[in-house]
Structure 1
């Protein structure tokens, strides 16, 4: 590769914008990003008011090489959030509470998350009074039935996700990256030469873009453009917002993140709209078409009524004063799980000139500061050997894949659900903004 090489990125979400930014920062002069929607896309998981970020990591693997990968990812992501002037304004080191409330959940908390009464990084919380004392009076008024967990006062918190995503886009644009959206950017197929090499992409308008290298960063929609050999499972989660008063926003400002790995989480209200986001925790939803093995993502600014019930149950345990408030906004949010939840960042072994940047597996946004660097390293042939092994093309891990595998996630019915079982009448009816 040289700096004048032509490069197409398919997808202007979290990883597409991060890759565009890192390419531009390294001096690449001929980069085009294609997407159906302008940044921030209404269907991008990164188009969100907040995401959890930790400066600590816990691995469920006994493989030292996997632990090395976890630490590399953590160190580079953290470096970006605390030292890159582009991203530091969006990181809020407010602290982080992580907990559970059933024997199975507490076992996972201690075994997989490494949080126990003797943890050095976390203060152990075991009574309702312990939980209420982590925030100002009047916030946590619930009874926290059976809840136990740890409180990390520093080195964790949340980031303004949409702000970071837009900042990456704007800086990449300033440095010369061209973003094409609408029908001209809505990629429908990859272009290839007679020998099978990928030469670019064709969009909904019929426009064809050719390049020396094509980077597929299309997230959950990637399987619609390329046979991923069952390595990606498009999986969705659910979120809801509640409108808060000015007085409530002031009371809730700078609160630590509260995350129960079995029921949900919340962070402080966003500064723009004064809305509190609550997510109900569960192993995710798929959207499998009949008689296929493909989960097809779709956009919807509503959530299943069963998800609303879970959100309100979480509020009843933590902030019952809010449990009956109407939702001001809700939506489903898509990601793509690999079988082992490691990223898939590699050159395609058969399709020359195609680089893959997919498989966020529910933890992709935290790495917006650094993931584009991994993609460019792979394109240039200099990716760290440990990352290269972890991120490789690995269809052998998806043979006879169990599409209902919860992948160490808990909550709700403790199983992967499918939107096909919800039914037309099983959704909220929140008025459009």
Structure 2
């Protein structure tokens, strides 16, 4: 069926990509768009429901870059423009700069050869602890930075207030006529619905079937429970924590560049509403490997929500603070949670029509880089729906089960930190979780 502006379009998932797709559909004149999600926007389990995420645009480094690098650079360049110019997103981008760093010779060499191009951009080398301290106001970085080396870029990078940006996209899409049905049971999609081998809609927990001419599956790490992705998706989680600052401290820590150590962690300035500093410990990720009854008992990673983190993650976060801001290293955490995303085997996005269900488009596989794409990823999703996604992207983000044959579910996916291996929540005993007395879901 040819797509027209009056075609009924159903989006499953109102997270970062779902809200972006809804906004871009409305902006292009589509008048019959429905979005379903089991939680109100912003969903407490959406990766984009966060006070801040890194926004970093890396220009191509190699003389002959691979297709995935070209595609990612194309997406990130467009996203950066969107953060700077789109009124829906512009207020939530803080171009404070970005420091990438390592603390061992091997990590430093990796950054030099893979992460940055010192011949491009405005990178400033940070060789000593004093070099690091000078990037921020006095008293912020009090650590010794033993063995550390970094590179500081002031332009085209910083952080985004992901939750507020997602709410802004949701609000504008709603104003333009998109209908959102959220919360359980009415918004909780339990299954896609098929007819004659094609997807014709979705069934929600209240028993209602929502028919549509076109269905976009953009449910993040939860997408895997609704469709057989032929092992192309691995739900993977990371860990984050907050330290509450005083209002006076929050003012002193305003407009800080992002400080990222590729094997220890990162932090950004405190949020303006709750004056909380977010710290993430860096590691290859956690999975939750269990027998999944939705897939004939196959062992696979199944997401769950938890507003605590393993004690080992807390220890890693505090180790990062001891290197950088030891005056904060022993402060109690005010909040923590695990944050899920979905990794593809090559960490490229997956945005394509399903080869067996012509009315179904999948838009998944953020692979840790999805939130920063929020202003423009919806446009690429609509391009794919309309069959006009540019070739340099289409070839990379295509449906590609061949890439997942004999997939190593425990691959680190070229990430560093922690024990330098993928971890399993099944190995974390109940008493090995934090017990932070926090009830309000802010992140």
TM range, smaller chain: over 0.9
Give the counterpart of 1:377 among 383, 386, 402: 383
Partners in 2 of 1:409 and 1:61 — Cα distance? Answer: 24
Alpha-carbon deviation of 1:332? 0.3
Residue segments in structure 1 that go unaligned for 5+ positions in a row? none
Cα deviation 1:194-223 (Å, max 9, x = unaligned): x21100000111111000001000110111
Aligned position for 1:217: 218
Give the alignment of 1:100-179 within 5 angstroms: 100-114=102-116, 121-179=122-180
Alpha-carbon deviation of 1:104? 2.1
Aligned position for 1:292: 298
User: Which deviates more from structure 2 when the two are superposed, residues 423-432 or residues 165-174?
Assistant: 423-432
Counterpart check, 1:418 vs 2:424: yes
Alpha-carbon deviation of 1:119? 6.3
Alpha-carbon deviation of 1:358? 0.4
Cα deviation 1:338-376 (Å, max 9, x = unaligned): 001111000000012000000001000111111111111
The answer (yes or no) to whether the contact 1:59–1:67 under 8 Å persists in 2 is: no
Alpha-carbon deviation of 1:58? 5.1
Aligned position for 2:84: 82
The answer (yes or no) to whether the contact 1:269–1:276 under 8 Å persists in 2 is: yes
User: Which deviates more from structure 2 when the two are superposed, residues 359-368 or residues 287-296?
Assistant: 287-296
TM superposition score normalised by structure 2: 0.95
Give the alignment of 1:9-88 within 5 angstroms: 9-57=11-59, 63-88=65-90
3-state SS of the aligned residue for 1:77? Answer: helix
Query: How many residues matched?
Result: 431
User: Which deviates more from structure 2 when the two are superposed, residues 15-24 or residues 98-107?
Assistant: 98-107
The answer (yes or no) to whether the contact 2:61–2:117 under 8 Å persists in 1 is: no
Aligned position for 1:98: 100
Alpha-carbon deviation of 1:319? 0.4
The answer (yes or no) to whether the contact 1:191–1:198 under 8 Å persists in 2 is: yes
Give the counterpart of 2:346 among 340, 346, 360: 340
Partners in 2 of 1:302 and 1:132 — Cα distance? Answer: 31
Aligned position for 2:316: 310
User: Which deviates more from structure 2 when the two are superposed, residues 57-66 or residues 316-325?
Assistant: 57-66
Partners in 2 of 1:114 and 1:62 — Cα distance? Answer: 15
Cα deviation 1:73-98 (Å, max 9, x = unaligned): 12211111111111111111111111
Cα deviation 1:154-197 (Å, max 9, x = unaligned): 2211111111000000000000001001211100000000x211
3-state SS of the aligned residue for 2:164? Answer: helix
Counterpart check, 1:355 vs 2:361: yes
3-state SS of the aligned residue for 2:34? Answer: strand
Alpha-carbon deviation of 1:120? 5.2
* Cα-Cα RMSD: 1.4
Aligned position for 1:386: 392
The answer (yes or no) to whether the contact 2:42–2:163 under 8 Å persists in 1 is: yes
Alpha-carbon deviation of 1:406? 1.1
Alpha-carbon deviation of 1:60? 7.8
Task: Note closer, same or farther for the CA distance 1:279–1:59 as it changes in structure 2 (3 Å cut).
Answer: farther
The answer (yes or no) to whether the contact 2:80–2:156 under 8 Å persists in 1 is: no
3-state SS of the aligned residue for 1:297? Answer: coil
Partners in 2 of 1:339 and 1:68 — Cα distance? Answer: 17
Residue segments in structure 2 that go unaligned for 5+ positions in a row? 292-296
Aligned position for 2:257: 256
Counterpart check, 1:368 vs 2:369: no
The answer (yes or no) to whether the contact 2:14–2:41 under 8 Å persists in 1 is: yes
Counterpart check, 1:301 vs 2:307: yes
Partners in 1 of 2:43 and 2:77 — Cα distance? Answer: 28
The answer (yes or no) to whether the contact 2:57–2:73 under 8 Å persists in 1 is: no
User: Which deviates more from structure 2 when the two are superposed, residues 56-65 or residues 80-89?
Assistant: 56-65
The answer (yes or no) to whether the contact 2:190–2:203 under 8 Å persists in 1 is: yes
3-state SS of the aligned residue for 1:82? Answer: helix
